């Protein structure tokens, strides 16, 4: 199966394909609504062929549908019919969960995406659980305000890396994870990783898309199959 992978972030929409090495992208932001995303995606990959779509979206997803508008995007995502708009079958999942799926080896894994904000997901056995650890407090701020783009700009590289070494192991212990995978654009800024932590890569969403379509049950029917997706 050839799958188009749409990874929506707060600053860009990255487009991948299970049959290509390259990826393409366009800007997102607070004005991006689903109609515009669909049209720009179609235009950007008009020379690609695909049979299905895996859509990672930065918000709470329940039963294969977004149940809130993403904080960093425009309005209109709840109730939008993506399959009808694309004319292709679409499976929707939280964006951090999509990367976590592609990064997962075994055991109990915590995924943290350090980008515009902080995405998070936990995989244990056949449980895929979306989290919002970025909302936890670290001093007077939220974790996403420290480890996201805003924190990196305000703290500078050295102090930001120190915060990573304080916060990430604490989150790992809190969810009793065997290991942590750090994804997102700011991972490249970390010179030395904490123990039990490895780097992810944006391309892991491609492997996540394959698993979403080939190994997991339809997210719209979460009670079927061996996996539980929340």
106-199, CATH topology level: Nucleotidyltransferase; domain 5 (3.30.420)
Task: Give the length of the chain.
Answer: 230
Distance CA 111, CA 12 (A): 20
Domain boundaries 3-97+203-214, corresponding CATH code:
3.30.420.40
187-192's contacts with Cβ under 8 Å and 24+ in sequence apart are 187/114, 189/152, 189/157, 189/160, 189/161, 190/161, 190/164, 191/161, 192/161
CATH 3.30.420.40 domain span(s) along the chain: 3-97+203-214, 106-199
Q: How confident is the model at residue 228, as a pLDDT?
A: 79
Q: How confident is the model at residue 224, as a pLDDT?
A: 63
Q: How confident is the model at residue 223, as a pLDDT?
A: 62
pTM of the shown model: 0.91
Q: Mean pLDDT for each consecutive 10-residue tract of the chain (230 residues)?
A: 94 94 94 97 97 96 93 94 97 96 96 94 93 94 95 96 97 97 92 95 92 88 72
Q: How confident is the model at residue 182, as a pLDDT?
A: 97
């Amino acid at each position: 199966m050839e799958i188009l992978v749409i990874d929506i972030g707060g600053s860009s929409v990255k487009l991948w394909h299970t049959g290509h090495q390259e990826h393409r992208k366009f800007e997102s932001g607070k004005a991006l609504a689903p109609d515009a995303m669909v049209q720009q995606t179609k235009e950007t990959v008009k020379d690609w062929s695909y049979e299905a779509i895996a859509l990672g979206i930065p918000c709470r997803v329940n039963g294969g549908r977004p149940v809130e508008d993403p904080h960093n995007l425009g309005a209109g995502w709840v109730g939008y019919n993506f399959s009808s708009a694309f004319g292709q079958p679409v499976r929707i999942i939280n964006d951090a969960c999509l990367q976590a799926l592609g990064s997962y080896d075994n055991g109990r894994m915590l995924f943290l995406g350090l980008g515009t904000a902080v995405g998070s997901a936990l995989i244990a056995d056949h449980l895929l659980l979306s989290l919002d650890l970025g909302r936890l407090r670290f001093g007077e701020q939220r974790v996403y305000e420290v480890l996201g783009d805003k924190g990196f700009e305000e703290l500078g590289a050295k102090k930001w890396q120190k915060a990573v070494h304080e916060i990430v192991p604490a989150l790992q212990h809190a969810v009793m994870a065997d290991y942590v995978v750090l994804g997102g654009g700011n991972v490249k800024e970390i010179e030395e990783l904490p123990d039990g932590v490895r780097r992810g890569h944006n391309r892991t969403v491609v492997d996540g898309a394959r698993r979403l379509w080939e190994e997991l049950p339809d997210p719209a029917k979460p009670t079927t199959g061996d996996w539980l997706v929340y």
